[in-house]
Amino acid sequence: MKALCSLIAVAIMCSAALLGCQDQQATAPEKSAQVVAPLAKGGFNEFGYNYQARIFNGPADGVDKILDGKVWGDPTYANDHLVMKWNDEWDRGNDEAWSNPPYAAWENNEWNGNVRGGSGEVWHYKIKWIGGSGPNGETLPDGGYRIWGIFEVIMSQGTVANQHFWDAHATPAGYGTH
């Protein structure tokens, strides 16, 4: 579970960096087996990103924009299905390097490892910008925890080896506004 949490944290952080330098055009697929059908405006690229709709939908292998059977060099979660959604404030924060607060930025990750060749783990994370600064993992008064200094994980729950875990459940658990 801790390995997945670390991988998710790296995935979100790298995704945030990737989103900050996003390619607004859908590109031609290089590997048709790993292409997600264009369902939303602008269409999905070969990695699983639809930047106009602010969605990633596909094998986690594509989140790092390298289709190599790994996620940032680790094959453990590459076959898991990942759906990420974020709002325009997340894009604005990335564009501004988070230097012009406040932000009403949020991001949602749903990992499903109950797929052929998957990890078997299932996780759901909700993250929002809170500003300020503090150490990663710091428990916050509302029940969430701090990540990357300026964000809060307001919900983290999942299943590993048929056991369900709640790592965070802030009150309220919604994204709210700032």
Residues ≥6 apart with Cβ < 8 Å to 82:
11, 48, 56, 57, 58, 59, 60, 63, 109, 110, 111, 112
CB 4 within 8 A of CB 158: yes
Higher pLDDT, 136 or 29: 136
Dihedral of the alpha carbons of 6, 7, 9, 10, in degrees to the nearest 10: 120
Q: Kindly tell me if the per-residue pLDDT of 44 is higher than 70.
A: yes
Whole-angstrom Cα distance, residue 55 to residue 97? 20
Identify the H or E element spanning 123.
strand 122-129
- Which tokens is 59 given? 């094998």
> Nearest CA to 48 among 33, 39, 59?
59
CB 133 within 8 A of CB 149: yes
| pLDDT tens string 2-40 | 444 444 443 444 444 334 434 333 333 333 344 444 444
CB 93 within 8 A of CB 59: no
| pLDDT tens string 66-122 | 999 999 999 999 999 999 999 999 999 999 999 999 999 999 999 999 999 999 999
Token match 């060749």: residue? 117
Query: Span 51-63, mean pLDDT?
Result: 96
pLDDT at 14: 40
Query: Span 134-150, mean pLDDT?
Result: 94
> Nearest CA to 52 among 83, 18, 86?
86
Q: What angle do CA 62, 114, 110 make, to 5 degrees?
A: 55
pTM of the model: 0.75
pLDDT at 59: 97
